[in-house]
Amino acid sequence: MEVSSGRPDLLIGLVDGPVDQTHPDLLVEHIRELPGTPGGQCINASSIACAHGTFVAGMFSARRGGPAAAICPDCTLVVRPIFSEESLGDMVMPSTTPDELACAIVDCVKAGVSILNLSSALTQPSIRRERRLEDALDYAMQSEVIIVAAAGNQRNVGGSPITRHPAVVPVTACETQGRPLDYSNLGHSIGRRGLSAPACGIAGLAPQGKVVFSGGTSVAAPFVTGTVALIWSAFPRANAAQIKLAIMQVHAQRRRSVVPPLLDAWATYRAVASILCERS
């Protein structure tokens, strides 16, 4: 974060809840919504969907020096709301259908995003619906988009159609000492291709100008997405394959279980610099 605050021409796709863009700590000039997307603004500020979208948006696009992480505020955040503002009960992570998620992914790729941040549990699973989602993830991969996805908070050991896809970097949640939180999903594909990141007592923005503390894999994923955004901003000549190669190289020796290694942002930055130097 001392090296870069991002670049406006680097677009991050946020597939999440609607964002309360009236929050005074948000850099709204670097946030845009996809045209024609229903529910772009928070109508019900007390909804879980609005709270979730606003918190994650603040991790990327808040003013530095404020309460939120504000990882890459100079990047452009493309918001593609997908969660309903209707009550979601006691769900830790908002949910959507595979078809709805597939449409949102395609919309973001067509909008020109370089990175996608996904935080969603799936409902209504079926082979047909999952195939459409897989096709959307394939489309993003072929378009050289880096996909970062929250692994989920269901205490499962296994995976999902999202975390199993080879294009996705799954992210689990850990506490401040790097140990995985007990509710975070784990699995072979998560351990092999994923990363863990902090997600315990993280400060962030909430609707109506508030500040809250939150956790979970939805909070962990933006640390990885934001790292990729800052590195790509610092090395605009890099491509998606080179950045993912750097991630794998830096963390390769620690991929021995269903628990992924802890994100090392600075080592990844140096690895991208080395890769570009070798190939120049």
Summarize pLDDT for 189-222 with one digit per residue, the tens: 999 999 999 999 999 999 999 999 999 999 999 9
Q: What is the CATH number of the domain that holds 168?
A: 3.40.50.200
Closest CA to 15 of 149, 208, 112, 199: 149
Q: Helix 240-251 and helix 217-234: axis angle, to 10°?
A: 120
Q: Is the dihedral of CA 84, 90, 93, 95 positive or negative?
A: negative
Q: Is residue 3 a part of any domain in this protein? A: no
Provide the pLDDT for residue 160: 87
Reported as a pLDDT band with limits 50, 70 and 90, residue 85 is confident
Q: Is residue 92 a part of any domain in this protein? A: yes
Q: Is residue 6 a part of any domain in this protein? A: no
Cα separation, 55 vs 66, whole angstroms: 13
Mean pLDDT of 107-112: 97
Q: How many structural domains compose the chain?
A: 1
Helix (H/G/I), strand (E/B), else coil: 171: strand
Range of the domain at 95: 11-279
Provide the pLDDT for residue 8: 98
Is the model's pLDDT at 36 over the cut of 70?
Answer: no
pTM: 0.94
Q: Are strands 202-206 and 210-214 parallel, antiparallel or unpaired?
A: antiparallel
- 279 Cβ contact partners less than 8 Å away, ≥ 6 residues apart: 242
Closest CA to 145 of 63, 209, 239: 239
Give the chain's count of helices (H) and strands (E).
7, 11
Q: Is residue 5 a part of any domain in this protein? A: no
Cα separation, 73 vs 210, whole angstroms: 19
Q: According to the per-residue pLDDT averaged within each range, which of 112-116, 156-160, 175-179 is highest? A: 112-116
Provide the pLDDT for residue 89: 47
Q: Is residue 1 a part of any domain in this protein? A: no
Average pLDDT of the chain, as a whole number: 90
Mean pLDDT of 108-122: 92
Summarize pLDDT for 212-253 with one digit per residue, the tens: 999 999 999 999 999 999 999 999 999 999 999 999 999 987
Could you tell me where the DSSP H helices lie in the chain?
48-61, 98-110, 127-142, 188-193, 217-234, 240-251, 265-279
Is the model's pLDDT at 39 over the cut of 60?
Answer: no
Summarize pLDDT for 58-69 with one digit per residue, the tens: 999 999 999 999
Is the model's pLDDT at 21 over the cut of 50?
Answer: yes
Cα separation, 89 vs 85, whole angstroms: 11
Q: Is residue 4 a part of any domain in this protein? A: no
Q: Is residue 199 a part of any domain in this protein? A: yes
Q: Is residue 221 a part of any domain in this protein? A: yes
Give the range among 37-46, 67-76, 110-119 with minimum mean pLDDT. 37-46
